[in-house]
Amino acid sequence: MRGSCRERYGAAVAAGDMDALARTLTADVVWHQPGANSLSGDHVGPAAVVAHLGAFMERSAGTFTLVTESATESGDLVSTTVRFTARRDGAVDLDQHGVDVFRIEGDRIAEVWLISEDQRAEDLFWG
């Protein structure tokens, strides 16, 4: 994401620092989680987004990982290609590529859209 926002967000994600991650979000941030699973839907506000991201770790017993492979910017939009993995008892391991799109306001993330390589497999994994 533009300049320092991208760096702060990336560092927070890499460190698993949810407080720092929350500080990269606007007060009315909207995280659009696609699919038809128990984690799908819109999550509004930093506390809701942090809780939502924590659910990925909780449900995967801490195995969820996200690696940003590339990023491109156009105005207030940033698109990243990512690879995400997770393990969960009773489910086939999750290992997919995707695209995350961020809308930036000032120096914070205002909105996030996620696109998975295989949404059906992700839905089955998260239940």
Q: What is the pLDDT of residues 68-110, one digit of tens each?
A: 888 899 999 999 999 999 999 888 899 999 999 999 999 999 9
Question: Looking at residue 117, which CATH number applies to its domain?
Answer: 3.10.450.50
Domain that holds residue 26: 3-126
- Amino acid (1-letter code) at residue 11: A
Q: What is the pLDDT of residues 6-42, one digit of tens each?
A: 778 878 887 888 899 999 999 999 999 999 999 999 9
pTM: 0.90
Contact 78, 6 (CB under 8 A): yes
- Number of independent structural domains in the chain: 1
- Mean pLDDT of the chain, nearest integer: 91
Total residues found in the chain within this entry: 127
